[in-house]
């Protein structure tokens, strides 16, 4: 038995509503028709797609694997129909990024590609979530932290971004030429939770304080950035997360001489082994140009 376009929509409707009867109402057919067709489709694919229970149905793991493929197939058919009707189908690209990098990357990329012939969707997630999106083709290009080599994923290093101490340009320490961790230990501190080394830094800062004071570890970078600019905190962050503020002068990098050399290795990732579309190629080249433009600032 073949699977039709109506079947693609049926499976998506059942998964969305969690109910055969609600899916039937949406599709303007009867509940028994939906139930029978789902059973036929399960026999065709050789897997149970929905777990039946007293209050409705729930998508199985097999259904969750299948759904992204159904959505892509339906989208491609719709684009093809538009092309047949003479409507120019503008390529659609989805960019994924860590939440802490979105502030820097999304605005810069969309600014450079504002007139490019493509529609861009921006989404955020942890590195593993972005990679999963790339493998499923729901994300075409991702900006993630360095990860082990993975089959099907091409990765390219864009930035080796140092962890730096930052403060607002109006902070009392902003004009100091040299500082140590001991010099700033008594101030209000809120490091961005950038990784395992953050706990090492917090332990060091606690040992340098003469009396107990709270240390706030925050994420994503937007939270640390707001505390620095609006509440007078000092933060420790990957430089790429605040490079725009450093260039504009609203933040300054504090010259902390004994801050260990820690880094965020930021990668651009995309699906390997597939022909790259012109829109995706333009996005990759723009990402590389952005990397060159936003190199770490001199101390």
* In a shared domain, residues 116 and 145: yes
Q: What is the CATH number of the domain that holds 182?
A: 3.40.190.290
* In a shared domain, residues 97 and 174: yes
Residue 166 has pLDDT above 70, yes or no: yes
Q: What is the pLDDT of residue 181?
A: 96
* In a shared domain, residues 57 and 96: no
* In a shared domain, residues 19 and 130: no
* In a shared domain, residues 154 and 125: yes
**245 vs 296 pLDDT, higher one:** 245
The span from the CA of 221 to the CA of 227, in Å, is 10
CB neighbours of 251 closer than 8 A, spacing ≥ 6?
166, 167, 168, 169, 228, 229, 242, 245
Entry field: residues in the chain:
299
* In a shared domain, residues 147 and 214: yes
The span from the CA of 166 to the CA of 22, in Å, is 54
State the pTM of this model.
0.68
Among 84, 104, 122, residue at a domain's last position: 84
The span from the CA of 43 to the CA of 62, in Å, is 13
* In a shared domain, residues 208 and 60: no
Residue 86 has pLDDT above 90, yes or no: no
Across all residues in the chain, what is the average pLDDT?
89
* In a shared domain, residues 230 and 110: yes
* In a shared domain, residues 181 and 122: yes
Work out the pLDDT band at 270, boundaries 50, 70, 90: very high
Domain hosting residue 16, numbered range: 5-84
Q: What is the pLDDT of residue 89?
A: 65
Q: What percent of the chain has pLDDT over 70?
A: 95
pLDDT digits (tens, 9 = 90+) for 29-54: 999 999 999 999 999 889 999 999 88
Q: What percent of the chain has pLDDT over 90?
A: 63
* In a shared domain, residues 20 and 123: no
* In a shared domain, residues 42 and 181: no
For residue 56, whether the previous peptide bond is cis, meaning omega lies within 30 degrees of 0, is no
Work out the pLDDT band at 211, boundaries 50, 70, 90: confident
What mean pLDDT is predicted for residues 210-217?
88
3-state helix, strand, coil in the chain (%, to 5): 45, 20, 35
Residue 275 has pLDDT above 80, yes or no: no
What mean pLDDT is predicted for residues 83-95?
74
Q: What is the CATH number of the domain that holds 69?
A: 1.10.10.10
CB neighbours of 93 closer than 8 A, spacing ≥ 6?
118, 119, 120, 121, 140, 141, 279, 280, 283
* In a shared domain, residues 34 and 11: yes
The domain tally of the chain equals 2
Among 84, 114, 149, residue at a domain's last position: 84
**299 vs 97 pLDDT, higher one:** 97
Among 56, 84, 112, residue at a domain's last position: 84
């Amino acid at each position: 038995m073949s699977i039709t376009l109506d079947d693609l929509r049926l499976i998506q409707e059942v998964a969305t509503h969690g109910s055969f009867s609600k899916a039937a109402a949406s599709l303007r057919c009867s509940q028994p028709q939906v139930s029978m067709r789902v059973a036929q489709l399960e026999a065709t694919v050789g897997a149970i797609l929905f777990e039946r229970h007293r209050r409705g149905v729930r998508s199985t793991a097999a259904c969750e694997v299948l759904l992204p493929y159904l959505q892509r197939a339906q989208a491609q058919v719709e684009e093809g129909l538009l092309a047949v009707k003479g409507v120019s189908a503008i390529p659609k690209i989805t960019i994924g990024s860590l939440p802490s990098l979105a502030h820097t990357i999304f605005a810069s990329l969309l600014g450079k590609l504002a007139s490019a012939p493509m529609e861009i969707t921006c989404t955020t997630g942890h590195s593993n979530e972005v990679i999963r999106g790339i493998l499923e083709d729901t994300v075409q290009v991702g900006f993630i932290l360095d990860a082990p080599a993975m089959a099907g994923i091409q990765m390219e290093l864009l930035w080796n971004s140092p962890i730096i101490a930052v403060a607002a340009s109006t902070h009392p320490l902003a004009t100091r030429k040299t500082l140590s961790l001991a010099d700033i230990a008594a101030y209000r501190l809120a490091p961005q939770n950038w990784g395992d080394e953050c706990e090492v830094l917090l332990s060091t800062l606690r040992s340098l304080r003469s009396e107990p004071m709270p240390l706030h570890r925050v994420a994503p970078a937007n939270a640390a950035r707001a505390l620095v600019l609006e509440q007078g905190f000092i933060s420790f962050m990957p430089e790429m997360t605040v490079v725009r503020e450093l260039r504009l002068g609203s933040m300054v990098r504090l010259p902390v001489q004994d801050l260990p050399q820690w880094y965020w290795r930021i990668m651009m990732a995309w699906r390997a082994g597939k022909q790259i579309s012109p829109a995706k190629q333009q996005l990759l080249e723009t990402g590389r140009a952005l990397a060159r433009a936003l190199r770490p600032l001199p101390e």
